[in-house]
């Protein structure tokens, strides 16, 4: 009688016969003190090595009962696939490289999670590097990821130095810029306009009747700075100029990544410079929360004395009291959309849009208020 077929011409009967003639894989591995191999897994599961390999690379091509047997064998043996060997044989690394400016910003963590959730559906994993806003670190990470055969790169939007531009220009793998819309995309781009986000914040505060408006922004120049925050500042000041308002109430703080402490210190310095401020825009919610705490320490009421708003839509902004008004960005959605773009590009999909603008949302909470006495009454 013919045994039940599993995959690749192998049957349950033939698998059982092989198991009867081979030593127990787990005990053999334990005796040798070696890491279990794919051969040990195939012996324990009663299938061929090719079937195990297929189940790991393309599980949808393997019968469910066979996949379960292989999964049990992997768990029992503690098997870890040798990705380096696989990369050598297939010339595919199976990973996508992501470089972010900082790991202290939860928005970038949300983007990384959204990106990971999408690319894992096709068997890819994420390799993450962070730069602390240093262009030299960016160049080092990109070189390393390319040397390890990254199949795609996701980089933060922003200007690039000559060395990095030259390096990326010679690459054929998909390169996607994320979390901003740079004037000159390297390849593909998913994000939002920081310039328009700044303009939106300024128009909102002006619409509330505020005329003496300050800004808290990070220091930094050249390539080692927060370009996204700089673009928000440019858009904000542009809207102030268009409204005929002064634009010199900009308080710089330390270099990025910015923190609660920097926000508090910058807010204190700005209040000393301009005690009659009407409103303040912080280029990050982290800075905004620090500024809120400093106002509380100084007895400055928010929003009765000063309206305060931030950027980013961080969770802490929702939880502080009063809750922080902000220009919110859905970084999780940005990560997911970037992941879908990366998979499309890797699959050779035609007509992938080079730029995807997911926009921003003005989220009005409790730290801003209308000041009718400051709004001129129409004649």
Q: Dump pLDDT digits (tens) for 94-128.
A: 899 999 998 878 899 999 999 999 999 998 999 99
Give every CB contact of residue 74 below 8 A, 6+ residues apart in sequence: 41
Mean per-residue pLDDT of the chain: 85
Distance CA 276, CA 371 (A): 14
Read off the pLDDT of residues 291-337 as tens digits, 9 standing for 90 and up.
999 999 999 999 999 999 999 999 999 999 999 999 999 999 999 99
- Whole-number pLDDT of residue 24: 54
- Whole-number pLDDT of residue 169: 86
- Whole-number pLDDT of residue 69: 93
- pTM higher than 0.85, yes or no? no
Position 50 pLDDT exceeds 50 = yes
Reported confidence tier of residue 53, pLDDT bands at 50, 70, 90:
confident
Mean pLDDT on 60-88 = 80
Q: Specify the CATH superfamily of domain 194-328+362-374.
A: Response regulator (3.40.50.2300)
Reported confidence tier of residue 160, pLDDT bands at 50, 70, 90:
confident
Domains 12-81 and 194-328+362-374 share a fold: no
Neighbour-count burial for 31-55, b at 16+ CB within 10 Å, e otherwise: eeeeebbbebbbbbbbbbeebbbbb
- Whole-number pLDDT of residue 332: 96
Range with lowest mean pLDDT among 16-20, 46-50, 65-69, 74-78:
16-20
- Whole-number pLDDT of residue 177: 93
- Whole-number pLDDT of residue 277: 94
Which option is the CATH number for 93-192+332-348: 1.10.3080.10, 3.40.50.2300, 3.90.1150.10, 3.30.1370.110?
3.40.50.2300
Mean pLDDT on 352-370 = 96
Sequence ranges of the domains in the chain: 12-81, 93-192+332-348, 194-328+362-374
Mean pLDDT on 78-94 = 64
- Whole-number pLDDT of residue 32: 53
Position 364 pLDDT exceeds 70 = yes
Position 18 pLDDT exceeds 80 = no
Distance CA 173, CA 168 (A): 9
Range with lowest mean pLDDT among 138-152, 208-222, 353-367:
208-222
Position 57 pLDDT exceeds 60 = yes
- Whole-number pLDDT of residue 12: 46
- Whole-number pLDDT of residue 8: 44
Percent of residues, the chain, with pLDDT higher than 70: 84
Domain 12-81 belongs to what topology?
A: 434 Repressor (Amino-terminal Domain) (1.10.260)
- Whole-number pLDDT of residue 86: 53
Read off the pLDDT of residues 129-139 as tens digits, 9 standing for 90 and up.
999 888 889 99
- Whole-number pLDDT of residue 313: 94
Read off the pLDDT of residues 182-232 as tens digits, 9 standing for 90 and up.
766 668 999 999 999 999 999 999 999 999 999 999 876 544 567 788 889
Reported confidence tier of residue 80, pLDDT bands at 50, 70, 90:
confident
């Amino acid at each position: 009688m013919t045994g039940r077929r599993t995959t690749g011409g192998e049957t349950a009967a033939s698998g059982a016969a092989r198991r009867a003639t081979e030593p127990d894989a787990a005990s053999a591995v334990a005796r040798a003190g070696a890491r279990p191999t794919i051969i040990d897994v195939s012996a324990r599961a009663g299938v061929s090595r090719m079937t195990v390999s297929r189940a790991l690379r393309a599980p949808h091509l393997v019968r469910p009962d066979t996949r379960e047997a292989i999964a049990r064998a992997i768990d029992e043996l503690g098997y870890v696939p040798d990705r380096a060997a696989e990369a050598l044989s297939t010339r595919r690394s199976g990973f996508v490289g992501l470089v972010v400016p900082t790991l202290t910003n939860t928005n970038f963590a949300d983007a990384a999670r959204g990106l990971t959730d999408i690319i894992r559906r096709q068997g890819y994993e994420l390799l993450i590097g962070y730069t602390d806003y240093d262009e030299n670190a960016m160049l080092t990470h990109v070189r390393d990821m390319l040397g390890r055969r990254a199949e795609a790169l996701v980089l933060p939007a922003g200007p690039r130095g000559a060395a990095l531009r030259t390096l990326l220009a010679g690459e054929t793998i998909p390169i996607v810029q994320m979390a901003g819309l740079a004037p000159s995309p390297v390849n593909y781009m998913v994000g939002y306009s920081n310039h328009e986000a700044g303009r939106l914040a300024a128009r909102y505060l002006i619409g509330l009747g505020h005329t003496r408006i300050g800004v808290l922004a990070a220091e930094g120049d050249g390539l080692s700075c927060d370009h996204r925050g700089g673009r928000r500042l440019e858009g904000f000041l542009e809207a102030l100029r268009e409204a005929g308002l002064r634009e010199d109430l900009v308080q710089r703080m330390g270099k990025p990544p910015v923190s609660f402490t920097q926000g508090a210190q910058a807010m204190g310095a700005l209040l000393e410079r301009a005690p009659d401020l009407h409103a303040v825009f912080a280029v990050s919610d982290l800075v905004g929360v620090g500024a809120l705490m400093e106002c509380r320490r100084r007895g400055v009421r928010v929003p009765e004395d000063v309206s305060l708003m931030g950027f980013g839509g961080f969770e802490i902004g929702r939880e502080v009291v009063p809750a922080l008004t902000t220009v919110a960005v859905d970084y999780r959605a940005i990560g997911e959309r970037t992941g879908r773009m990366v998979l499309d590009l890797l699959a050779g999909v035609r007509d992938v849009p080079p730029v995807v603008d997911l926009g921003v949302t003005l989220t009005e909470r409790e730290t801003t208020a209308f000041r009718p006495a400051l709004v001129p009454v129409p004649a």
